[in-house]
Amino acid sequence: MNHPMKITKIETVPYRPPLRKFFGRDVKLGLGELKDLDYGLVRVHTDEGVTGLGEISTVFPPTGTELCNIVGAVIAPHILGEDPAHIARIHERMDATIDSAEPAKAAIDMALYDIVGKALSVPVHALLGGLVRDAIPLSFSIMFGSPAEMAGLAGELAALGFTTVKVKVGQGAARDEDAVRAIREAVGESVTIRVDANMAWHTPEEALATLRRLEPYRIELAEQPLAADDLDGMAFVRQHIHTPILADESVWTPRTAWRVIERKAADIVNVYVSEAGGLFRAAQIFTLCEAAGIPCVIGSMPETGVGTAAEVHLGVAMSNLGFASGCCGSSYFDEDLLRTPLRVEDGLAYPPDGPGLGVEVDERVFERWC
């Protein structure tokens, strides 16, 4: 009988990926300004020489550097010596060791799937149930700018083959309406427009008033109109508007997804590999929502190449993926972390062909980012 593989070492390295400057400025959205991102790369080593890659990516505290320290000092001592194929057991260990810190757990989880896929010579999506679709339709986010700037970017995205754009709103009702109108005029009827408030509106009444101004421009859905914990407010907005409501910041783990379902706070749920705590937990959220009759999409932190690859593997394997997803995090950065960039064509993301996550880090780019 073969001896089980064992985890022998877990390495973490913080890094700072440079976001693209949209409209020549730092990125702005309802959460505030995004800059000086602080992420982490995790490498899980085994006694058989198979190494797995994982990514810590988050725009919320704690930072990637702090989460790297948590992996090394808190999580690693409890999972060294474990068989990397025992993914459910390792999640139990991580959850018992530390509450929250989901992006750190997600990086470990990605690396475990990467190891098991490499050991079995199969892609990660095969470990998640196999292909439901060959590729995922993508949604690209349009950050805050003037209506003309935002419409110009929408036109460029449409020319690249994107069929869905997500417009960041929360600049004030009149400016939001001007932006959505300009984008609709720029892309015509062939492109789907959705809006994302990133919790920018303070009351259900403010959310409703703005969304009613945007509805004539045929918006597909409205993402996270209110604060993450205002589930009653989200349910109220949902009951008083035709546009479907997508829960994003309200959903992290399966437990928080269940609260959203229970409170009837959303029509659709946005699932993040990073926020869920990894592919294992993200797939649980998909199953939970499917049982409740609620479709899911996959959101972007934005991740760099390793995390984006994990999302694409998840997306092609989940039957309950109901809409275009944000699995194009790599596109929001000046450079690509991967030696071979992920395949994106005509607004579709394809999973890598190789075993495991199927990606390798470009060490020259990584050194610059460190």
Confidence of residue 308 (pLDDT cuts 50, 70, 90): very high
What is the pLDDT at residue 27? Answer: 74
The whole-angstrom separation of Cα 10 and Cα 274 is 18
pTM score above 0.85: yes
Residue 299 has pLDDT above 90, yes or no: yes
Residue 136 has pLDDT above 80, yes or no: yes
The average pLDDT across 61-88 equals 97
**Amino acid residing at 209:** A
Q: Is the dihedral of CA 127, 352, 299, 107 positive or negative?
A: positive
What is the pLDDT at residue 21? Answer: 85
* Burial zone of 1 (CB within 10 Å; 0-12 exposed, 13-18 middle, 19+ buried): exposed
Q: How many CB atoms lie within 10 A of CB 319?
A: 11
Residue 113 has pLDDT above 80, yes or no: yes
The whole-angstrom separation of Cα 280 and Cα 95 is 13
CA 34 to centroid of chain Cα atoms: 16
R_g of the chain, CA atoms, integer Å: 20
The whole-angstrom separation of Cα 40 and Cα 54 is 9
With left for phi above 0 and alpha for psi between -120 and 50, is residue 83 left, alpha or beta? Answer: beta
Residue 257 has pLDDT above 50, yes or no: yes
What is the pLDDT at residue 98? Answer: 96
Which of 118, 127, 113, 108 is closest to 55 using CA atoms?
108
What is the pLDDT at residue 72? Answer: 97
The whole-angstrom separation of Cα 220 and Cα 223 is 10
The whole-angstrom separation of Cα 295 and Cα 152 is 31
Here the tokens at position 280 are 């294992």
Confidence of residue 330 (pLDDT cuts 50, 70, 90): confident
Spell out where 51-135 has E strands: 51-56
The H-or-E segment that residue 199 falls in is: none
The whole-angstrom separation of Cα 159 and Cα 155 is 6
What is the pLDDT at residue 200? Answer: 94
Altogether, the residues listed in the chain come to a count of: 370
The whole-angstrom separation of Cα 340 and Cα 335 is 12
Residue with tokens 């530390």: 98
Confidence of residue 137 (pLDDT cuts 50, 70, 90): very high
Residue 111 has pLDDT above 90, yes or no: yes
225 CB-side CA count, 13 A: 31
1-48 pLDDT tens trace: 378 999 999 999 999 999 988 887 777 776 677 778 999 999 999 999
CB 298 within 8 A of CB 292: no
Residue 123 has pLDDT above 90, yes or no: yes
The H-or-E segment that residue 168 falls in is: strand 164-168
Residue 79 has pLDDT above 50, yes or no: yes
Residue 350 has pLDDT above 80, yes or no: yes
Q: Is the dihedral of CA 227, 229, 230, 234 positive or negative?
A: positive
What is the pLDDT at residue 1? Answer: 39
What is the pLDDT at residue 30? Answer: 67
Domains of the chain in start order, with CATH, are: 7-122 (3.30.390.10), 127-369 (3.20.20.120)
What is the pLDDT at residue 29? Answer: 72
Residue with tokens 């986010």: 141
Tell whether omega for the bond before 18 is within 30 degrees of 0, i.e. cis: no
Q: Measuring CA to CA, how many Å separate 53 from each of 82, 103, 309?
A: 17, 14, 11
Q: State the chain's mean pLDDT as an integer.
A: 95
Residue 135 has pLDDT above 90, yes or no: yes
